[in-house]
C-alpha cells in the first residue's frame, strides 16, 4: 500500500521532472495490475489536483446572478463527439460551462483534436480569456494547461505504456482536471462495452461510483450516466467528420443516438446546475444552440464559414449481400480510424484532422447488395489496407436485426 506521503512525493516530483518516465512507468504498471484502495485513489487524485492551479469562477455573474457553472466529462468513447453539441445546448438554456478538454487517448478520440479541425480554432486560452468567455458566450473549451499538470504527463505516459485501461488511473485523471477547472457541478458519461476503456458493466459501475464519490467529497456535486459503447455513437468516427455530424445535430438533424444522449446529458447538467423549466431539445429545434456554438467557435478564433478538412484519399466498403445491418463493433471502427491517422501512435504527434470513418448504416437498418456501408478517409493512402483490415469482422449483414441495446443503461448519483 502506498502511503499518503509516498503518493504526494511521487506526483510532485514526477510533475517537476525529478522522477524519470521509466520509474513512473513501472509504478503505473503496478497500479494497472494491482489496482488501488479507495484511500489511495482519493490521495492520488488530490495530489494531481494540487500539482497545479485550481480555478475559481464563483465571483462571476451574469445579470446580477452567479453563473450556474457545470460541466460534463466522458470516460472516452468511439464517435463520442457529445461535448460539441452539448455545450451550446446547455449554455443556450442558461448554464455556464468551463471545460478543460483532452486529446485522443488510446483508441478514443479527444474533444480538442476534433475542435481543432475547425480552421483557426484554438484551445490555448488564458485564464482571463476563460473568464471573459464564461461571462460572454457562456462557455470556454480549453486545454488543461496548468490545471493538474501531473495528469498531462501521466496521461501521455499511459498512452504509450498500455496502462490506460485502469480504474484508479482513469478516475484520478478525469477527476483531477474536473475538480481543478472551476465547475460547481459535474455530470459524467461513463461508457460501457467493447469501445470503452473498461469493458464490463460491473467495472464501469465501479468507475462511476468512484468518480461520483470523489466529486461529492470535494464539494462538487457529481452524478453519472452509464451509457452503451458497444457500438460507435452516431455515424462518424474521426476528427473533422465528427464536427460535421455535430453541426447536423445543432441544425436539428443528426443521428438519433447522438441527439438522444445530448438531450439526456443536457437535462442532467441543467438539473445539477439548478436550472429548471427549460427544454434542451427545443434549443436544437429553434437554432439557439447553433447560434451559441457559432459564438463559442468565433470567440476561440474558429471560422465555420471555411470548409472542414477531409482526407484526400478514400475507400469504401460495400455490402456483399442484401439483408439487415448487423452489429457494428465500436473497437473495430475505432482502430480503423486510428490506423487512418485520426489518433496518435506517439505522444505529441499531430493527428490527421481529415482522417476518419463514415458509417452509412446503423445496426438494424435494411441493406441492399452492393451498397456502401463505410467510407474511409485519410491523407496517407498507404494507411488504407491496415484500416480496412481492422474493419474486417467488425460488422455483418444478416437476415434479422441484432439485439436492441439501451443507450442509457443507468444513472448513478
- Per the residue annotation, which of 172, 173, 176, 236 is the catalytic one? 173
Q: Is 199 a catalytic residue?
A: no
Nearer to ligand URA, 173 or 352 (CB): 173
- Per the residue annotation, which of 73, 107, 114, 339 is the catalytic one? 73
* CA quadruple 112, 117, 119, 125: dihedral, nearest 10: 0
Q: Is 158 a catalytic residue?
A: yes
Question: What is the smallest separation between the CB atom of 101 and ligand URA, expressed in angstroms?
Answer: 9
Contact 72, 187 (CB under 8 A): yes
For residue 102, state whether it binds ligand URA (rule: CB under 6 A). yes
SS3 readout for 277-322: CCCHHHHHHCCHHHHHHHHHHHHCCCCCCCCCCCCCEEEEEECCCC
For residue 170, state whether it binds ligand URA (rule: CB under 6 A). yes
Nearer to ligand URA, 228 or 327 (CB): 228
Contact 318, 385 (CB under 8 A): no
Please give the Cα distance from 56 to 147 (Å, whole number): 12
Please give the Cα distance from 330 to 254 (Å, whole number): 19
Q: How many residues does the chain have?
A: 413
Which of residues 105, 192, 342, 373 is near ligand URA by CB under 6 A? 105
Nearer to ligand URA, 75 or 222 (CB): 75
Number of residues that bind ligand URA (CB under 6 A): 8
For residue 176, state whether it binds ligand URA (rule: CB under 6 A). no
Question: What is the smallest separation between the CB atom of 68 and ligand URA, expressed in angstroms?
Answer: 23
For residue 196, state whether it binds ligand URA (rule: CB under 6 A). no
* 210 sits in which H/E element: helix 201-217
Nearer to ligand URA, 102 or 280 (CB): 102
Q: What are phi and psi of 54, to 5 degrees?
A: -120, 115
Please give the Cα distance from 329 to 278 (Å, whole number): 36
Which of residues 174, 233, 247, 394 is near ligand URA by CB under 6 A? 174
Nearer to ligand URA, 83 or 283 (CB): 83
Contact 173, 154 (CB under 8 A): yes
Nearest CA among 43, 58, 34, 54 for reference residue 12: 43
Nearer to ligand URA, 163 or 283 (CB): 163
The residue range among 28-36, 166-174, 352-360, 366-374 that interacts with ligand URA, by the rule CB under 6 A, is: 166-174
| Residue 16 C-beta-side C-alpha neighbours within 13 Å | 8
Q: Binders of ligand URA among 48-67, rule CB under 6 A?
A: none
Contact 70, 273 (CB under 8 A): yes
Please give the Cα distance from 193 to 233 (Å, whole number): 12
The residue range among 50-58, 126-134, 165-173, 276-284 that interacts with ligand URA, by the rule CB under 6 A, is: 165-173
Which of residues 45, 51, 67, 76 is near ligand URA by CB under 6 A? 76
Q: Is 360 a catalytic residue?
A: no
- Per the residue annotation, which of 71, 80, 151, 228 is the catalytic one? 151
Q: Is 177 a catalytic residue?
A: yes
For residue 36, state whether it binds ligand URA (rule: CB under 6 A). no
Q: What are phi and psi of 144, to 5 degrees?
A: -60, -30
Nearer to ligand URA, 102 or 343 (CB): 102
Q: Is 173 a catalytic residue?
A: yes
Which of residues 42, 83, 173, 352 is near ligand URA by CB under 6 A? 173
Longest dimension (CA), the chain: 64
- Per the residue annotation, which of 43, 153, 158, 344 is the catalytic one? 158
For residue 75, state whether it binds ligand URA (rule: CB under 6 A). yes
Nearest CA among 264, 263, 265 for reference residue 284: 263
Active site residue ranges:
73, 151, 158, 173, 177
* Interface residue list for ligand URA (CB under 6 A): 75-76, 102, 105, 169-170, 173-174
Amino acid at each position: 500500500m502506498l502511503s499518503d506521503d509516498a503518493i504526494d512525493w511521487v506526483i510532485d516530483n514526477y510533475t517537476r521532472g525529478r522522477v524519470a518516465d521509466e520509474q513512473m512507468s513501472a509504478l503505473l504498471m503496478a497500479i494497472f495490475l494491482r489496482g488501488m484502495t479507495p484511500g489511495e485513489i482519493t490521495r492520488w487524485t488530490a495530489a494531481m489536483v494540487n500539482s497545479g492551479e485550481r480555478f475559481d469562477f464563483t465571483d462571476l455573474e451574469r445579470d446580477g446572478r452567479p453563473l450556474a457553472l457545470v460541466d460534463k466529462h466522458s470516460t472516452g468513447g468511439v464517435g463520442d463527439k457529445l461535448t460539441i453539441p452539448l455545450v451550446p445546448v446547455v449554455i443556450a438554456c442558461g448554464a455556464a460551462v468551463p471545460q478543460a478538454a483532452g486529446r485522443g487517448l488510446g483508441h478514443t478520440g479527444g474533444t480538442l483534436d476534433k475542435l481543432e479541425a475547425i480552421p483557426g480554432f484554438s484551445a490555448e486560452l488564458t485564464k482571463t480569456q476563460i473568464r471573459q468567455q464564461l461571462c460572454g458566450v457562456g462557455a470556454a473549451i480549453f486545454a488543461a494547461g496548468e490545471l493538474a499538470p501531473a495528469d498531462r504527463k501521466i496521461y501521455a505516459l499511459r498512452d504509450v505504456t498500455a496502462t490506460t485501461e485502469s480504474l484508479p488511473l482513469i478516475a484520478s485523471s478525469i477527476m483531477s482536471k474536473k475538480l481543478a477547472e472551476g465547475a460547481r457541478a459535474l455530470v459524467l458519461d461513463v461508457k460501457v462495452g467493447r469501445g470503452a476503456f473498461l469493458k464490463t458493466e460491473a467495472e464501469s459501475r465501479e468507475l462511476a461510483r468512484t468518480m461520483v464519490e470523489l466529486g461529492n467529497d470535494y464539494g462538487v456535486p457529481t452524478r453519472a450516466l452509464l451509457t452503451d459503447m458497444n457500438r460507435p455513437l452516431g455515424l462518424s468516427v474521426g476528427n473533422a467528420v465528427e464536427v460535421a455530424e455535430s453541426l447536423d445535430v445543432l441544425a436539428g438533424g443528426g443521428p438519433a443516438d447522438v441527439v438522444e444522449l445530448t438531450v439526456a446529458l443536457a437535462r442532467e447538467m441543467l438539473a445539477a446546475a439548478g436550472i429548471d423549466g427549460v427544454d434542451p431539445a427545443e434549443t436544437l429545434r429553434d437554432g439557439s444552440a447553433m447560434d451559441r456554438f457559432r459564438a463559442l467557435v468565433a470567440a476561440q478564433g474558429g471560422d465555420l464559414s471555411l470548409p472542414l478538412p477531409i482526407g484526400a484519399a478514400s475507400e469504401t466498403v460495400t455490402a456483399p449481400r442484401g439483408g439487415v445491418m448487423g452489429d457494428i463493433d465500436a473497437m473495430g471502427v475505432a482502430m480503423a480510424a486510428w490506423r487512418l491517422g485520426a489518433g496518435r501512435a506517439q505522444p505529441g504527434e499531430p493527428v490527421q484532422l481529415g482522417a476518419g470513418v463514415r458509417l452509412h448504416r446503423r445496426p438494424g437498418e435494411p441493406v441492399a447488395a452492393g451498397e456502401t456501408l463505410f467510407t474511409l478517409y485519410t491523407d496517407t493512402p498507404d494507411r488504407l489496407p491496415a484500416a480496412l483490415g481492422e474493419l474486417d469482422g467488425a460488422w455483418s449483414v444478416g437476415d434479422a436485426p441484432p439485439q436492441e441495446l439501451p443507450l442509457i443503461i443507468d444513472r448513478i448519483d
